[in-house]
Amino acid sequence: MKVRHLLEILKIELSKIEPPDYARWEALLILSHFLNLSPLKVYLFRENTLEEEMVEKIFSVLEERKTGKPLPYILGVVYFFGRPFYIEEGVFIPRSETEVLISAFLDFNLQEGYILELGVGSGVIGITLLLERPRLKVIGIEIDTKALEITKKNARLHKVEERFLLIRGNWFAPLKEGEIFSAIVSNPPYLSEKEWDSLDPSVKNFEPREALVSGKDGTEYQEELLRKASLFLKKKGFLFFEIGYNQDQRIEVLLKKYCWEFEFYEDLRGYRRVVVAWKA
């Protein structure tokens, strides 16, 4: 079967469970995985004929995806900021919205020093910053042992393990207060308990609750960041963190409560998605 025929079949079948644009993207992801190409290069091989054994494996992935299992868990890979990262079930899947956090960080032109990442997950934020800024060093704190193993694997994959120190612990708990970090970055959990209850089964049934839920109101972790971050930042240090699409007003109240200057960054849908904060 030719690649172009298989691409069309995948788009049609995946459109039954997700929007057409995303179905097209996932079809490209599946084919790129088996062809060992970046997703957009699949179009260059549209007339190639695939062996029957590979076609059967691709259809097997399609059937598993139609059960609701997220594609990154099936393939074992997720793309972030244009790069592939290893992922496993039980570790939070990075979303494209988090790329706004990277863009915000790069806008502030921090070229060197130590960066603290809280809640490392699969390591995509810290590793991406290290790749984009070769003179940075990152200390990452993560409580989940499986997530730490995945991050180590990704750090080795992208050859930044010597600049990425990982510590198992609960947020600021392993650290002593002091003016150590040029910046703190985090994509903290930001769903409320009520939002968790109404989540799509493809998320709720597969992804870890503790990586998504931030207390009753969904702002527990963000408030801890705003309350404690300045104790660990250098005098001209910055705090970068992601928020939920509907949280900007509540977060703005907390920013003012804890006396931060701040700027919001919007995602592609126009939601205020990332906060950059600093002390005057």
pLDDT tens digits for 207-232? 677 776 777 777 888 999 999 999 99
Per-domain residue ranges of the chain = 3-67, 96-278
User: What are 103's two structure tokens?
Assistant: 């863009």
* Residue 253 pLDDT: 93
User: Mean of the pLDDT values across residues 268-273?
Assistant: 90
* Residue 218 pLDDT: 73
The per-residue pLDDT for range 99-154, each reduced to its tens digit, is 999 999 999 988 889 999 999 999 999 999 999 999 999 999 999 999 999 999 99
- Alpha-carbon distance of 265 to 273, in angstroms, equals 6
For the chain, how long is the longest CA-to-CA vector? Answer: 63
DSSP result, 222-270: HHHHHHHGGGTEEEEEEEEEE--TT-HHHHHHHHHHTT-EEEEEE-TTS
Question: Minimal CA–CA distance to 255: which of 241, 236, 266?
Answer: 241
Mean model confidence pLDDT for the chain? 90
* Residue 48 pLDDT: 87
* Residue 199 pLDDT: 66
Which residues, in sequence order, are bridge partners of residue 117?
140, 185
* Residue 201 pLDDT: 74
User: Mean of the pLDDT values across residues 150-162?
Assistant: 96
The per-residue pLDDT for range 64-82, each reduced to its tens digit, is 999 989 999 999 999 999 8
| Residue with token string 């392993």 | 174
Whole-model pTM: value is: 0.89
List the single range of 98-102, 130-134, 198-202, 232-236 with lowest mean pLDDT. Answer: 198-202
Residues 6+ apart with CB under 8 A from 238: 108, 110, 182, 183, 184, 276, 277, 278
CATH class of this structure's domain 96-278: alpha beta
* pLDDT, greater one: 204 or 31: 31
Cβ atoms of 241 and 225 within 8 Å: the answer is: yes
Helix crossing, 3-14 with 52-65: angle to 10°?
10
Question: Minimal CA–CA distance to 225: which of 243, 207, 248, 204?
Answer: 243
